[in-house]
Amino acid sequence: MKFFIDTADLAQIKEANDLGILDGVTTNPSLMAKVGIKGEEAVTNHYKTIAELVDGDVSAEVVSTEFSAIVEEGKKLHAIHPNIVVKVPMIKDGIKALKWFSDNGIKTNCTLVFSAGQAILAAKAGANYVSPFIGRIDDASWDGVELIAQIANIYAIQGWETEILAASIRSSLHIVKCAEAGADVITSPLEPILGLLKHPLTDIGLAKFLSDAKTFK
Ligand code: E4P
């Protein structure tokens, strides 16, 4: 399972990248706004900086909703850096655009996916990644991880190669459960990734080893 970080914050991207386990980055318009990126040039430069920082796919989301505008915006995003993956919303014109990008060799991530039916359409359209938003599903009192397992089962039966990118991760447990459910990728904020490190018995055990080590040094 690949690890992507879900942020546009360069310090957090660097911290995750320094761990040596980072495979890519996802962003969305809300995450870009959160770090204060404003204007087309600043957006382009920010994506370029991220793509040069991390050796892996970087999802950059279109904000157009009509087929030809999505294609034009996606082509511009793709031109920023070869690792840019065009993130396209799960809407009718988005499906048409995913097929166009697929036919023209541009990698895509189909975002805002909340059902197996939507994941089927994304795969049929040739999306490279499909992003089910598991945290937002949980927030609505449905089971996000269950959706990951259902999509993984469908894709395995059908032999579809679209990678399941579990998004909207809220906790370290989500990451563990997504690995069990068959996600190909998780994209997570930094904290849940760092949370995987934590266990009180590790801290207690290390303290004891270090204090015992003093007796024979
Ligand atoms: C990433 O691709 C998604 O846009 C993101 O994970 C959504 O997360 P949120 O539900 O925490 O906003």
pLDDT (mean) for 85-105: 98
* C-beta 160 within 6 A of ligand 1: no
DSSP H/E element including 131: strand 129-132
* C-beta 136 within 6 A of ligand 1: yes
Output the six-digit token pair for 9. 């914050």
Alpha-carbon span 91 to 98, nearest angstrom? 10
> Three-class SS of residue 185?
strand
pLDDT digits (tens, 9 = 90+) for 148-203: 999 999 999 999 999 999 999 999 999 999 999 999 999 999 999 999 999 999 99
pLDDT (mean) for 62-87: 98
Does 12 have pLDDT greater than 90? yes
- In this prediction, residue 128 carries a pLDDT of 98
> If you measure from the C-alpha of residue 178 to the centroid of ligand 1, how many angstroms do you get, rounded to a whole number?
15
Does 73 have pLDDT greater than 90? yes
Alpha-carbon span 179 to 210, nearest angstrom? 33
What is the overall mean pLDDT for the chain?
A: 98
In 3D, which of 168, 163, 133, 162 has the Cα closest to residue 147? 133
Q: What percent of the chain has pLDDT over 70?
A: 100
Q: What percent of the chain has pLDDT over 90?
A: 99
Q: Among residues 87, 96, 99, 198, which one is catalytic?
A: 87
pLDDT digits (tens, 9 = 90+) for 22-50: 999 999 999 999 999 999 999 999 999 99
Nearest CA residue ID for atom 5, ligand 1: 168
Alpha-carbon span 110 to 33, nearest angstrom? 20
For the entire predicted model, the pTM comes to 0.96
- In this prediction, residue 217 carries a pLDDT of 77
Establish whether 34 is a catalytic residue.
Answer: no
> If you measure from the C-alpha of residue 58 to the centroid of ligand 1, how many angstroms do you get, rounded to a whole number?
14
> If you measure from the C-alpha of residue 100 to the centroid of ligand 1, how many angstroms do you get, rounded to a whole number?
25
